Amino acid sequence: MSLRISRSNFTDQVAIEISESIRTRKFKPGDQLPSVEKLATEMGVGRSTVREGLRLLQARGLVEIIHGVGTFVAQEQISRVTGVLVSFSQTILERGMTPSAQVLSQDKVAADDETASRLQIQVGDPVHVLKRLRFADKVPMAVETSIIPYDRFADVMEQDWGGQASLYAFLYDRYQVYPHTAAQTVQAVTAGRTQSQLLLISTRSPVLLIETVAYDQSGSALEFGRSYYRADRYEYRVQLKHT
């Protein structure tokens, strides 16, 4: 591979040459780029110039720099369109990717004021709290917390929620209920230490905080969800029409 560049506008040229290699699929989404040292040698520039060029590409969303690991071509963003109610697993599968999950915690607790209000139950009623790290093709995408009424779905926590397990699929198969409608809010926030460590992003990186209350066919609340999605990998699209 020859990436040697001219001796002018070094940083911009580094960014241009690497982005062209990405555009032509020489480097594909998810590929790790050569080391800074190797790129500097091939391009005939200094290592600091390569680092500056890579930071430019990171700002443009073309690469991901994981400190201590390397630089990777950014994965294509996953779009979610409002008005369409689908699970995380279904969203990922529809894009030809493999969903998976790592269970972070699962507990039975008493509902606080907010949870009781969202789930239409009484304060102190028992609820399941399932917290998972969700992946797409082994890339961490979201930190997801699902809160489910215990009295309706007593055996939820007896299941294995790792791997490709889908909560909505389980509720349908076991209880013949599914999310028919949902109320959802989306906020742009910054990642805290826990979210950044789990999602492999820098502290205070932008993330999307998505809160959802899903209702079944009869209008009863079946889940209160709170999820933090990587803003560099996930986008929310809104479809509007004139009334």
In Å, what is the CA distance from 50 to each residue of 5, 8, 39, 70? 12, 14, 7, 13
pTM for the model stands at 0.70
What are the backbone angles phi and psi of residue 14, rounded to the nearest 5°? -60, -50
Task: Give the residue range(s) of CATH 1.10.10.10 domains in the chain.
Answer: 10-73
27-69 pLDDT tens trace:
988 889 999 999 999 999 999 999 999 998 888 778 888 888 8
For the segment(s) 78-237, the CATH number from 3.40.50.10470, 3.40.50.10740, 3.40.190.10, 3.40.1410.10 is 3.40.1410.10
Task: Give the residue range(s) of CATH 3.40.1410.10 domains in the chain.
Answer: 78-237
Identify the band that residue 237 occupies on the pLDDT scale cut at 50, 70 and 90: confident
For the segment(s) 10-73, the CATH number from 1.25.40.340, 3.10.20.30, 1.20.1300.10, 1.10.10.10 is 1.10.10.10
Residue 178: is it exposed, middle or buried by C-beta count within 10 angstroms (0-12/13-18/19+)? Answer: middle
